[in-house]
Structure 1
Amino acid sequence: MSLDLSKIQTLLVDADLNTRRILRAMLARMGMDKVTDHATLAEAAGSPATIDLVILDADQADGAALRWIHAIRHGLTTLNPFVGAIVMTWNPTQQMLIRFASSGADDILVKPYSPKQVQERLVNLVENRKKFVVTSDYIGPDRRRAPREGQVIQLIDVPNPPRLKCTGEFDRVNIHELTAQAARVIDAEKVVRHGFQVAFLVEFALPGLSTQPPEKRAMDHALRVTSVLEDLERRLPPGDLRVEATNHIRRMETLLGILKTRHTLPPHELEQLRQDAHALMGLTSRVDDAEKRMNEVLAAVAGYRTRLDQLTLAKNAADATPATAG
């Protein structure tokens, strides 16, 4: 199938001028001349929602480019949250690939790349884009080889701007309404996931918060709740649910603020934190049975503790192994 890529509006971000020139030339030979390029993310910030495709270098300090993709997917930038996103790297280390997978980007190009490789990524994005999935900290293409046993995650059809432009459908649809519809589905799923995550983090942290002084790992997990609450509140629909949920959110934010300042909470306030967390999950969950909800959270906490313990044992074993003489 020969694709007409000429209408795709592309944003290219790479600090290296020569890389930008070469890639622009490659894209131009494919008919893509609607390209805006910048050297930095700061210059790219504020780009219009009419951008269909983002191609950016992921080798910037501190993973800033991948954090930007994550922010795009979460609706925190001026760009369409469903924009096509391809990242580039010279050094595809395991750590970098993990960050890439967590960002919500569609694909990756390893430098140096050929025109054929660039074209393959574009064709794949247009013709075979994966459906999106949502977790408490992820929005993006479904990368699972197979779902975990007992795990149900909704697959979400989202607008694909590059495909709409290539097929000529873009002019026949209301892209703003399509985007808003998909965003509402994602918001609803996020609310459910966040409600569970709040209860999970609190249940995990409580034993360590009950000691004096509190365990650092418990503090770290408890304080992560604040950002989850912020995003949850942002996505709540208007109405009674929002009013009731906000009451629990405010009380939890107050308690977490005290915890952050004093590094401790008395037992009755820890119990209040727990009650609010489970009440919030009850309001946002699709599971009506409170006992079943509790069991799901406790099972998730137990599994997480086991994985952390295994990682600690593996690290200790590696540290204890004497280095082999060279």
Structure 2
Amino acid sequence: MQKMIKAILRALGAINVKVADDGAEALKEMRTFPADIIICDWKMEPLDGIEFARMIRTGSDSPNPYIPIIMLTGFTEAGRVTEARDIGINEFLAKPVSPKSLYARIQGIIEKPRAFVRTASYFGPDRRRRQLKYTGPDRRQAEDSGQS
């Protein structure tokens, strides 16, 4: 899978692509390599993709907690997608991966970046994918006009 992803990235124009066998090795690489994006697999040993992402987002010694992360996995159950989102993954990509699907995720991260949110239990990109149109009264306008 690593060779295929690297080949796709090269075909898309990426020049410097670093590959790591697991999350621990990737963390080590990140300390010396200024990556623009991380593409990781859920299933890695000894440090899996979820723990790796958690360390990137919330670790006190994280080299870059704001770096975009795309999670690749064959585990596509709704609970897994939610778990990845709640760890701070930017994009989730189910295997098998196609060049088109990987390009679309990278393009989305670049063209529609989401603001980062910090709460007591979460740090990562805003988990809301869309803004729902508010249909209620605009109370701010009513409050402002009453105070003038």
| TM-score, L = length of structure 2 | 0.77
Root mean square deviation of aligned Cα: 2.2
Partner residue in 1 for 2:99: 115
Q: Which has the higher contact order (CA 8 A, sep 6+)?
A: 2
Q: Is 1:67 aligned with 2:82? A: no
Q: Give deviations 1:127-173, integer Å, cap 9, x for gaps.
A: 101111122111111123569xxxxxxxxxxxxxxxxxxxxxxxxxx
SS in 2 for 1:36: coil
TM-score by length of 1: 0.37
Given the superposition, is the C-alpha separation of residues 124 and 43 from structure 1 closer, same or farther in structure 2, using an over 3 Å criterion? same
CA contact (8 A) 1:47 1:78 kept: no
- Mark the runs of 5 or more structure 1 residues left unpaired by the alignment: 1-18, 148-326
Question: Which of 56, 74, 96 is matched with 2:80 structurally?
Answer: 96
Count of paired positions:
129
Structure 2 gap ranges (5+) = 133-148
1:73 Cα deviation after fit: 1.4
Aligned to 2:137: none
Instruction: Give the partner amino acid of 1:31.
Output: G
Q: Pick the aligned partner of 2:14 from 32, 38, 55.
A: 32
Matches within 5 A, 1:118-267: 118-144=102-128
1:52 equivalent to 2:36? Answer yes
Structure with bigger helix share is 1
Output aligned runs, 1:15-30, within 5 Å: 19-30=1-12
Question: Distance between the aligned counterparts of 1:146 and 1:53, measured in 2?
Answer: 25
Measure, in 2, the Cα distance between the counterparts of 1:126 and 1:68. Answer: 22
**What is the Cα deviation at residue 37 of structure 1?**
0.4
Aligned AA for 1:128? K
1:106 aligns with 2:108: no
CA distance in structure 2 between the partners assigned to 1:62 and 1:143 by the alignment: 28
Retained in 1: the 8 A contact 2:89–2:125? yes
1:36, distance to aligned residue in structure 2 (A): 0.7
Query: Structure 1 residue 62: deviation in Å?
Result: 9.4
C-alpha distance in 2, partners of 1:116/1:76?
35
Measure how far apart 1:97 and its partner are.
1.1
Shift of 1:42: 2.4
Cα distance 1:100–1:131, how it changes in 2: closer, same or farther (>3 A)?
Answer: same
TM-superposition CA deviations, 1:86-121 (whole Å, max 9, x none):
000012112211211111111011110211111111
SS at match of 1:55: strand
Identity rate, percent: 28
> Quick one: which amino acid aligns to residue 79 of structure 2?
Q
Q: What amino acid maps onto 1:74 in structure 2?
A: T
